[in-house]
Amino acid sequence: MKKDGKILIVDDDEDILTAGKLLLKRQFSHVSTCNLPEHIPLFIKEQSFDVILLDMNFGPGESSGAQGLYWLQKIMTIDPSSIVILITAHGSFDIAVEAMKLGATDFIAKPWQNEKVIATVSTAVALSQSRHEAKQLRVTNQALAQASNLNLGQSIIGQSTAMQHVHSLIARCAPTDANVMILGENGTGKELIAREIHQRSSRADQVFMSVDLGAITESLFESELFGHKKGAFTGAQNDRMGRLLAADGGTLFLDEIGNLPMHLQAKLLTVLEQRKVTPIGENEATPFNVRIISATNVATTQLCDEQYFRQDLRFRLNTVEINLPSLHKRQEDIEAIAAHYIAIYCKKYHKPTLPLSNDALFALKQYNWPGNIRELKHTIERAVILCQSPQLNANDFQLTPPAKLPSVTASTASTAEEATHADAFTSRESQQGLTIDDDNLNLEQIEKATVARALKKHRYNISHAAKELGLTRAALYRRMEKHGL
């Protein structure tokens, strides 16, 4: 069976051209010949060759090899990646050294041995194809890196006092390689901040890789982050590159870092300290160069608790710490954020731009937004879809009145923000009738009430509520959106 490979033979001796073509066309899919070196540029322009066999001397009496070196230089000028094998009956060590300096890959001496010619050309074809594959991989990796760096149409909106401080921290820490920990409630845009830091860093042209640690089971943690070799454990049918090595040179975003169990925290700390990772089943550690940005919705008091989170790991991760304010703490930004998403969804659903009425803007600003920007985004999408008037009114958003903030005593275990979310959610739950009645067998209502109770129980911690319900985070979000929660 013929191998894939395009060969060009350049020689002024027709007998050599005929013998070479007859020999090589039995092994390779395409063999071309050229008896005038002046035609080489035209051949290369019309098609790409894996290997070019180039005679060192053209014309009677020539034996210096100067012509071959001249045309070798021409070929390398046209295509520096060309694989050129020189053919000569008058080879010398000096000519070989000079040819190698100019880019030649190998020599074939006349009269040649067929087996040696086939072996030499086969090796050269394999080298050419490997270079081509490597080039394609580089192009693909660059495309993937660019795709991973897209903010998917999102941008950081808001110039409130709280957000000005966030912008300042981003501007100062982004150009460095310092690890960053982003704290904030669910839906505040932690990944958006992480992407912005990456985009402003010296790693902007490299990959940005996001890992949701809350969605990775403990048994798969090492395989996902560190990688594994084929056969390392049952089910490991192929080698797998871990996220740390896949993000080499770029940024790795570890979302929901606060949900990582203590014994896995220790393993992550060891790898980050050594800056080397050993895939499962491998004996040697591989160094990596990755900037770590982490995020969590865990309260600072809990994050500082040695019983819950290793402090040595926290210190390594939070060289710079950014606290994202919840949406109800940046009410002056709500109008701009709402306008941004209204424009997006009006375009998506082919509707004219819908302005916000005064009563709608007042309602948006007065609502507590326990789900933060994510909830506002989904609320606006629903309002745009259902709106039947030329503007968005308060009743289009189906918001409940704001709940009164509960007082916080010294013995209160939860933070004030958590209490606010729980109180707001309780108000919404009671007003929407989210209770389970023994006589109510409507599956939709039971599902809605169950999801609502789980969210209330875990104070709107999506990961914990999803685990309680036996769902993934994505599945829980779908149900929240389905039921308007």
Question: Which residues are CB-contacts of 382 (< 8 A; sequence separation ≥ 6)?
Answer: 397, 398, 484
pLDDT level of residue 143 (50, 70, 90 thresholds): low
Residue 433 has pLDDT above 50, yes or no: no
Mean pLDDT, range 377-402, rounded to an integer: 89
Task: Please give the structure tokens belonging to residue 187.
Answer: 């839906």
Phi, psi of 209 (to 5 degrees): -115, 130
**Predicted pLDDT of residue 394:** 92
User: Where is average pLDDT lowest: 28-32, 201-205, 320-324, 415-419?
Assistant: 415-419
Q: pLDDT tens for residues 326-368?
A: 999 999 999 999 999 999 999 999 999 999 999 999 999 999 9
**51 bridge partner residues:** 7
Q: Length of the chain in residues, anyone?
A: 485
pLDDT level of residue 203 (50, 70, 90 thresholds): very high
Q: Which of 311, 296, 299, 325 is nearest to 412 (CA)?
A: 299
DSSP secondary structure letter of residue 396: G
Measure the CA–CA gap between 210 and 203, rounded to whole angstroms. Answer: 15
Q: Which residues of 428-446 are buried (b: 16+ CB within 10 A; e: fewer)?
A: bbeebebeeeeeeeeeebe
Measure the CA–CA gap between 449 and 123, rounded to whole angstroms. Answer: 68
Question: Which residues are CB-contacts of 334 (< 8 A; sequence separation ≥ 6)?
Answer: 327, 361, 364, 365, 376
> Which of 181-185, 423-427, 463-467 is the most confident on average?
181-185
Superfamily (CATH H level) for 161-323: P-loop containing nucleotide triphosphate hydrolases (3.40.50.300)
Question: Which residues are CB-contacts of 463 (< 8 A; sequence separation ≥ 6)?
Answer: 214, 256, 259, 297, 473
**Predicted pLDDT of residue 348:** 94
Measure the CA–CA gap between 133 and 365, rounded to whole angstroms. Answer: 55
Q: What pairing do the DSSP bridges indicate for beta strands 180-183 and 106-109?
A: unpaired
pLDDT level of residue 29 (50, 70, 90 thresholds): confident
DSSP secondary structure letter of residue 471: -
**Predicted pLDDT of residue 90:** 58
Position of tokens 């081509």? 132
pLDDT level of residue 451 (50, 70, 90 thresholds): confident
**Mean pLDDT for the chain?**
84
Per-domain boundaries in the chain: 3-138, 161-323, 329-396, 416-482
Q: Give me the CATH topology for the region 329-396.
A: Helicase, Ruva Protein; domain 3 (1.10.8)
Task: Please give the structure tokens belonging to residue 398.
Answer: 């189906």
Q: pLDDT tens for residues 269-317?
A: 999 999 999 999 888 899 999 999 999 999 888 899 998 999 999 999 9
Q: pLDDT tens for residues 59-85?
A: 776 777 788 888 889 998 888 888 998
**Predicted pLDDT of residue 421:** 47
**3 bridge partner residues:** 28
CATH architecture of the region 3-138 = 3-Layer(aba) Sandwich (3.40)
Phi, psi of 304 (to 5 degrees): -85, 0
Q: pLDDT tens for residues 206-241?
A: 889 999 998 888 888 999 999 998 888 888 888 888
**9 bridge partner residues:** 33, 53
Long-range contacts of 33-42 (CB under 8 A, 24+ apart): 33/8, 33/9, 34/8, 34/9, 34/10, 35/10, 35/11, 36/12, 37/10, 37/12, 37/67, 37/71, 40/10, 40/71, 40/74, 40/75, 41/74, 41/78
Percentage of residues of the chain with pLDDT beyond 90? 44
Q: Which of 299, 286, 207 is nearest to 249 (CA)?
A: 207
Q: pLDDT tens for residues 81-120?
A: 889 988 877 556 677 678 778 888 888 877 888 888 899 8
Instruction: Give 64 or 178, the one with higher predicted confidence.
Output: 178
**254 bridge partner residues:** 211, 294
The answer to whether domain 3-138 and domain 161-323 are alike in fold is: yes
**240 bridge partner residues:** 228
CB 86 within 8 A of CB 56: yes
Task: Please give the structure tokens belonging to residue 276.
Answer: 């080397």
> Which of 69-78, 131-140, 214-223, 245-254 is the most confident on average?
245-254
